[in-house]
Structure 1
Amino acid sequence: MLIKFSVLWVEDDDRWFTASRRILKKYLDDLGFFLDVTRISDPENTSWDQHFEATSQYDLMLVDWRIEQTNKVDKPVGGDVIKRIREEVPYSDILFYSGSDGLEEEVYEKNLQGVYTTKRNQTIDEAKELINHLLHKSLHPKIMRGMIVSSLSQIDDMCFKIIEHKYNDAKCNRKAFAEGFRSSISSQAASQFKAKTKAIKKGDDDFIASLHNTMILDSHKRAIKLIELLEGDLETAKHEKLKSLPDTIIKRNWLAHWKRSEETDTKITLIHSGKSDYIFDQNEATRMRKKINEAGEILNQYLLEVS
């Protein structure tokens, strides 16, 4: 449900890792991505190999070339792990860093191809550049449009799970609960029926052309009801944030169903009869990613707490 950027991070220094992750998280938050980090703090740990069973899930790997441990001398790990990484993900992006000199020479001597190297104090800046490079194609409006539609479909599923949970709660007045939804659906159906009846009477060409505008899309209504149901269950600040979900779903529906009048590398222009054009560009995509991640985190946390 979250639009993630996944990182596998090999680092044993807790303080440096925590500070660096915070900076990288803020950077990706501003781009509308959720930073999902899997950390390895000790490559000699028995769980070391488990982290490489599904390395295709990672967008980037950050690896400290040397892992320092209190009970052993400075141990080089870069050469030890690179072969295993390459076996699993031959073309993944990997950034090795080190606080000592000689890293580039070691990489060259070990004939390690397709990896990046940097000084420890420059790791985050280098990681940001790599992230920008990796996201370049993903940020194309055409690809991002599909990502947003897919992510909100997962949020739709979460909304339904929460509605089911509220209905099955022992304190729920099930009859009143169901009638509340029946009332909303009845009102929506009456309005849609009128529009559909009008569409049916159109000439054949106009009727066929209007079919994509007369689908029943109730995810918007579902989100509105969900916000009503969660009032009192969520902290006020979280509930206020969740109130933007219906608007985000409306924009998703536009992306999924409105006709495209123009599509370039920087924006998609959507048109709908009787409405203003909707411009989906980098700024709008970033705004929507932030809203989706915001809602996804709130709903996911709620489901975890009540499950």
Structure 2
Amino acid sequence: MKLNYYVLWVEDDDSWYKTTSELFSETIIDYGFNPIIQRKKKLDEVVEEIHKTGLINFDILLIDFNLRNSESGDSVIDSIRNNNIFTDIIFYSSDKQSIIDSIKEHLFEGVYHSDRKELEDKFEKVFKTTIKKIEEINSMRGLIVGETSELDALIEEHLDFYIQPEFIGKFDVEKFLSDKIFVKLEAKLSFLKEEYSNIGVKALLPHIEAIRKWELLRGILKVNKTHKAYISEFLSINARYQDDVIEIRNKFAHAQVIVKDDGKEVLKAFVGEEHYEYDDDSFKKIREDLIKHRNALLKLKD
């Protein structure tokens, strides 16, 4: 799930930028995303960025169309059109008609325009359309995870039937288990023990499941609280990591979209005999939890 929301903002008025960017950051946070705003003060800096990166890292562009001591917005329109940039853009100006005229002149489609005083409202509307695109990508990712999980479940369902004596009795299950399961597990155990003996715990980390890594980290930190003042606070924040992160991932790996009686789509996750339903509000909570735990881990690293 994409948690960071990247904004490229071209604005040369320091005071107005500071006030307005704080409002926009609050909007992004309110929807459960982490705002990362990169500011530029000149339009030619945007043109440079276009040639350098194609602006592929940004979710939205905010551009003051008539900056002081800068090229006109026409130059940016030409660069965007000529380099196949498909990022959503809001051009704004106190003279909105100048934007409209320029867009028509350059036959430039698929962009938004706003008067400066209406920018806050326009930003929220466009922002909501862009996160739908993000969610569509994640829906496809979720679809793939869900479909593969359903295939796994179908195989297990068939196995549950075909391991009955009248079927499995015709198959040399002892040889299969010995050749395909036990030998591989024994070989892996032997390998891991040798790696640990030669290199130490670091050699085992790529082979340990996520929940064991979490338990190992917490165990080490608990006996080393004096190393950093932040460790105690981290342990408190991180205490729900299993529920907020690991269990959520496990539930989503066994999830499918269902339509309720009222026509609303929800994601239904199955774990054993239990099921859990997720809607927009719970997705927002999940994003907030993921950001919280990531920030705590980054702070611990610093």
**Structure 2 length-normalised TM:** 0.66
Structure 1 residues without counterparts, runs of 5 or longer? 70-74, 150-200, 207-215
2:279 maps to a residue whose letter is D
2:86 maps to a residue whose letter is Y
Change (3 A) 1:105 1:261: closer
Deviation at 1:261, TM superposition (A): 7.7
Q: Is 1:16 aligned to residue 9 of structure 2?
A: no
1:82 maps to a residue whose letter is I
**Cα pair 2:257 2:265 within 8 Å, conserved:** no
**Cα pair 2:268 2:277 within 8 Å, conserved:** yes
Q: Is 1:253 aligned to residue 211 of structure 2?
A: no
Deviation at 1:144, TM superposition (A): 8.0
Change (3 A) 1:294 1:219: same
1:267 paired residue number: 266
Query: For the residues of structure 1 that align with 2:257 and 2:66, how far apart are their CA atoms?
Result: 54
Query: For the residues of structure 1 that align with 2:237 and 2:281, how far apart are their CA atoms?
Result: 19
1:163 paired residue number: none
2:110 to 92, 111, 114: 114
**Cα pair 1:2 1:296 within 8 Å, conserved:** no
For the residue of structure 1 that corresponds to 2:267, the secondary structure is strand
2:238 to 236, 242, 245: 242
2:129 maps to a residue whose letter is H
1:6 paired residue number: 6
**Cα pair 1:5 1:59 within 8 Å, conserved:** yes
Alignment of 1:1-307 (within 5 A): 3-44=3-44, 49-50=48-49, 52-54=51-53, 55-69=55-69, 75-103=70-98, 104-139=100-135, 143=139, 146=142, 204=162, 218-230=209-221, 232=225, 233=228, 234=230, 236-248=232-244, 249-256=246-253, 258=254, 260=256, 262=258, 266-275=265-274, 277-303=275-301, 305=302
Query: For the residues of structure 1 that align with 2:59 and 2:257, how far apart are their CA atoms?
Result: 33
Query: For the residues of structure 1 that align with 2:137 and 2:42, how far apart are their CA atoms?
Result: 40
2:6 maps to a residue whose letter is S
Query: For the residues of structure 1 that align with 2:257 and 2:113, how far apart are their CA atoms?
Result: 44
**Cα pair 1:141 1:268 within 8 Å, conserved:** no
**Cα pair 2:96 2:114 within 8 Å, conserved:** no
1:116 maps to a residue whose letter is Y
Deviation at 1:44, TM superposition (A): 4.5
Query: For the residues of structure 1 that align with 2:97 and 2:257, how far apart are their CA atoms?
Result: 55
Change (3 A) 1:56 1:86: farther
Deviation at 1:142, TM superposition (A): 6.3
User: Identity over aligned residues, as a percent?
Assistant: 21
**Cα pair 1:142 1:268 within 8 Å, conserved:** no
Query: For the residues of structure 2 that align with 1:22 and 1:119, how far apart are their CA atoms?
Result: 19
**Cα pair 1:263 1:269 within 8 Å, conserved:** no
2:240 maps to a residue whose letter is S
Deviation at 1:24, TM superposition (A): 1.4
Change (3 A) 1:101 1:288: closer
Query: For the residues of structure 2 that align with 1:274 and 1:93, how far apart are their CA atoms?
Result: 44
Q: What RMSD over aligned residues (CA atoms) do the two structures have, in Å?
A: 3.3
Deviation at 1:17, TM superposition (A): 1.5
**Structure 1 length-normalised TM:** 0.65
Q: Which moved more, 1:224-233 or 1:95-104?
A: 224-233
Deviation at 1:259, TM superposition (A): 5.3
Query: For the residues of structure 2 that align with 1:94 and 1:261, how far apart are their CA atoms?
Result: 32
Deviation at 1:139, TM superposition (A): 3.2
Larger RCO (alpha carbons 8 Å, 6+ apart)? 1
Structure 2 residues without counterparts, runs of 5 or longer? 146-158, 165-206
Deviation at 1:247, TM superposition (A): 0.9
For the residue of structure 2 that corresponds to 1:291, the secondary structure is helix
2:174 paired residue number: none
Matched residue count:
236
**Cα pair 1:52 1:85 within 8 Å, conserved:** no
Radius of gyration: which is bigger?
A: 2
Query: For the residues of structure 1 that align with 2:299 and 2:289, how far apart are their CA atoms?
Result: 16
